[in-house]
Structure 1
């Protein structure tokens, strides 16, 4: 089973999630996670442990904040993961929401509260030591308008690192990597 983990203020129905769903069909789930980091991680851990207890293979694809979650979970459970323009220090990048009463979801314009305590809770999942860098493919685009790709490139330099010129935070042309991802997971 592949779990697609969306980014901050997104959901499992976003355009990137749907592209993965079209390609991987029944092999992938694209769930919409709670906006509270501890609840999101707990939800993912329950799904992963349920699958592993049934002797199923689990693979992760995470984008942005979902890449941060994927990094933590893949390291914890020794899973393969693909990280797409991942946040590596989200407590720094999400500070722009300090003092904002409500954050708007990109998919349906619903609004949610994201507090300083939520930002601080992300530090509970900070990764100090990457156990098996060969379990990761990291896809970065230099023109990511939200995150500095250099932070991820430095932190994840021991993974299979692919850095493209241009692009965006959404990772333009992600479909070009579907076969590579499929081969990475299943071979």
Structure 2
């Protein structure tokens, strides 16, 4: 069975609706979903530790996690499934510097201005990895058209309507499975 590394978005946690859905569909032992630190450098270091110690067949990233998944997919020439991914997080997260609460458990963390600089420094073009993008036009946080344009040489699915949380991921699980296994 394929191993998936699920990468959550900003102010979220590894144990969220999407990771639980993936674990239910693919098996709990086949989905790794860590809680990421707020620092992009530290988050990527943790993800790379996992990649070094476990054979991962595919990355699944949501929002900021989609940005991280792109960085890793490019570095390691991997498959990645991106759900409403952030394409310019140093811009979209600028308003969130300072103290924040995680959505999943209300834990307080600091999102420092230097993290925006780190995110910009890590930017990479999606040309070595293999991508499936699942976008929703009703995303109230990110402009889906920016991701659609950036990843236009890859498989891009746009569902009209929806929202940033991509709450109907269950409707796409067979497509996700086919992409992972191709």
The normalised TM-score by structure 1 is: 0.91
Aligned length: 179
Can you list the C-alpha shifts for 1:25-61, whole angstroms capped at 9, x where unaligned? Answer: 121111111111100001111111223xxxx343100
- Paired with 2:56 and 2:105, the residues of 1 have a C-alpha distance of 32
- Give ranges in structure 1 of 5+ residues lacking alignment: none
Residue 2 of structure 1 is matched in structure 2 by 4
In structure 2, runs of 5+ residues without a counterpart are: none
CA RMSD of aligned residues (A): 1.2
Distance, in Å, in 2 between the alignment partners of 1:24 and 1:128 is 29
What is the Cα deviation at residue 124 of structure 1? 2.4
Q: Distance in 1 between matches of 2:146 and 2:56?
A: 30
Equivalent in the alignment of 2:144? 149
2:169 corresponds to which residue? 174
After superposition, residues 116-131 of structure 1 pair within 5 angstroms as: 116-128=113-125, 130-131=127-128
SS of the equivalent of 1:162 reads strand
User: Which residue, out of 144, 152, 159, partners 2:154?
Assistant: 159
Moved more, 19-28 or 83-92: 19-28
Q: Under a length normalisation based on structure 2, what TM-score does the superposition of the two structures give?
A: 0.94
Separation (CA, whole Å) in 2 of partners of 1:3 and 1:156: 20
Question: Do 1:48 and 1:58's aligned partners in 2 also have CA atoms closer than 8 Å?
Answer: no
What is aligned with 1:79? 78
Deviations 1:101-158 (A, max 9, x none): 31110001111100110111112220135224xx110010001011111111111111
